[in-house]
Structure 1
Amino acid sequence: MGRRTQAQRDAMTVEIGYALFSAAFGAAVVLGAVGGPALLFDLPRYVEKALLASGVLLATALFAVRVVSVLVRFDRTAGTQPSQPGRTNPDS
């Protein structure tokens, strides 16, 4: 693969930002949903620790999976053009 154009570099920068932002948002939601009750309610100490540890583990896993999946999907579609009405697809 040769040098990338400025538009390709800009598209990759935007995609990385989107991947990180959406992954961080999803991880925060999961952490709040799983670990939140430990902070809101008076639960036994071992239950609080288990909920917080589970929340952190799930949030970390979700973050990694989301970033990788967004960037892999972008890499697969980077060279393709969306179809245009009225035009013949070169692959047909």
Structure 2
Amino acid sequence: MESYGGRRTQAERDAITVEIGYALCSAAFAAVVLLGAIAGPAWLFDLPRVVETSLVRTGLVLGPALFVVRVVAVLVRFRQAGQPSQPGRTSPDS
């Protein structure tokens, strides 16, 4: 992915687009699952008001935080992974 001053090829642009899409979709899924796991009991059961409010607020804080962390982690890992030296071949260290 290192194009020192050069233009990216169509394959590199496509790879970046796919990775961004994967990062966003997997982060949204993880955030929704976390929100449901934390705030779900407050929505399903009749809990005391304080417990219900704290569960929902905790879920609403941790869900978006997980979303951001997941997107950044996937994109940083993609950037560090690099690409094989020749198209269709794996790099020697894989």
Map of 2:34 onto structure 1? 30
What is the deviation of 1:58?
Answer: 1.2
Superposed CA deviations along residues 12-39 of structure 1, whole A, max 9, x for unmatched, are 0000000000000000000000000000
Q: Name the aligned partner's letter for residue 39 of structure 1.
A: W
Report how many residues are paired. 85
Q: Distance in 1 between matches of 2:84 and 2:68?
A: 26
Q: Distance in 2 between matches of 1:38 and 1:78?
A: 44
Q: Distance in 2 between matches of 1:57 and 1:35?
A: 11
Per the normalisation by structure 1, the TM-score is 0.85
For structure 2, list consecutive stretches of 5 or more residues without a partner in the other structure. Answer: none
- Give the RMSD, CA atoms, in angstroms: 1.5
Q: Distance in 2 between matches of 1:79 and 1:11?
A: 10
Q: Distance in 2 between matches of 1:78 and 1:20?
A: 20
Map of 1:63 onto structure 2? 67
For structure 1, list consecutive stretches of 5 or more residues without a partner in the other structure. Answer: 84-88
Q: Which runs of 4+ in 1 moved over 2 A?
A: 78-83
Within-5 A mapping of 1:33-52: 33-52=37-56
Per the normalisation by structure 2, the TM-score is 0.83
1:20 aligns with 2:31: no
